[in-house]
Every structure is written in C-alpha cells, then in structure tokens.
Amino acid sequence: MCLVDECRFLHLRKSLTVRSAEQAFDLLSARWPVSDGKAYIAAFEACEGVDDGHVSDESARQ
C-alpha cells in the first residue's frame, strides 16, 4: 500500500499526486469514496501515526 511521497491515487477519474501524510489524510477524510474496510482503516491509521510521530514516513508508504 502506498500512501505518501509521490504516490498517485485515482479519484473521480483524476490522478492526484500525494506528497505528504497530511495530504493523504485529507484525501482519505474528505474525498475518498468509501470509509471502511481494512485497507482504508490501515491507511487512515498510518496517516494519523505519522502526524502523531509514532509512524515513520517510510512505514506509512508501505
């Protein structure tokens, strides 16, 4: 799973480049089409962890 640092997400048929955990968090919070499932929850928690300082950027990217 790729969350931050030049990762591309397809959303509403547009490709978005996400350059930070903060940007990924905003995308997941406001613009992601679903808000459940294991992958969504893992991505959301990884972004929160980076913000809190408990997860490295490298770990969040995986």
Partner residues linked to 11 by β-bridges = 14
From CA 57, how far away is CA 15, in angstroms rounded?
21
Instruction: Calculate ∠ Cα 39-37-27, nearest 5°.
Output: 60
Which two structure tokens, joined as six digits, stand for 37? 């499932």
Closest CA to 22 of 58, 51, 45: 51
**pLDDT, tens digit, for every residue of 10-60?**
445 567 788 888 888 888 888 787 888 888 888 889 989 988 888 888 888
- The whole-number pLDDT of residue 11 equals 47
